[in-house]
Amino acid sequence: VKVEFLDYEAMESRGWQLTDDDLFEKAADDELGGEAYGYFYVEENETLLEAAEDEGYAWPFACRGGACTNCAVAIVDGEMPSPASHILPKELHDRGIRLSCIAAPTTDAKIVYNVKHLPAIRDLLL
């Protein structure tokens, strides 16, 4: 499946919000590139984090086992089911937050990575 991605810090520095309807249109129109915005493909049996690493991207992670939230991403469009075991509070899961080390999109998707800088997740990390 194809994943279009945007870096949370690049988004925040431009004053954009996760809830902006045209978030990815703005990202595509901007001079973003490199690590901040782009796309790649996720193979079957690969996690989203592994797929990003295969492309040479250094996305944040620590435990690689669904236990720390350093690797959190936000699904803006598409489906990314979580395995039964993960530590995300239901409220964050309901808002589309996922852990890239233990899951992958099952449909083409738009995701914001690096959301460990989102205040609600930063609090979990402290």
Q: CB of 23: closest distance to ligand FES in angstroms?
A: 23
Residue 72 CA from chain centroid, whole number = 6
Q: Which two tokens stand for residue 48?
A: 């989203």
CB 49 within 8 A of CB 101: yes
Among 35, 46, 55, 64, binds ligand FES (CB under 6 A): 64
Stretch that binds ligand FES, among 8-16, 21-29, 33-41, 57-65 (CB under 6 A): 57-65
Q: Is 70 in the site for ligand FES (CB under 6 A)?
A: yes
Q: CB of 8: closest distance to ligand FES in angstroms?
A: 15
Question: 76: closest CA among 118, 29, 20, 31?
Answer: 20
Stretch that binds ligand FES, among 1-9, 27-35, 38-46, 69-77 (CB under 6 A): 69-77
Stretch that binds ligand FES, among 7-15, 29-37, 61-69, 89-97 (CB under 6 A): 61-69
Q: Is 69 in the site for ligand FES (CB under 6 A)?
A: yes
DSSP assignment of 26-77 equals: HHHHSS--TTSEEEEE--TT--HHHHHHHTT-----SSSSSSS-TTEEEEEE
Q: Is 114 in the site for ligand FES (CB under 6 A)?
A: no
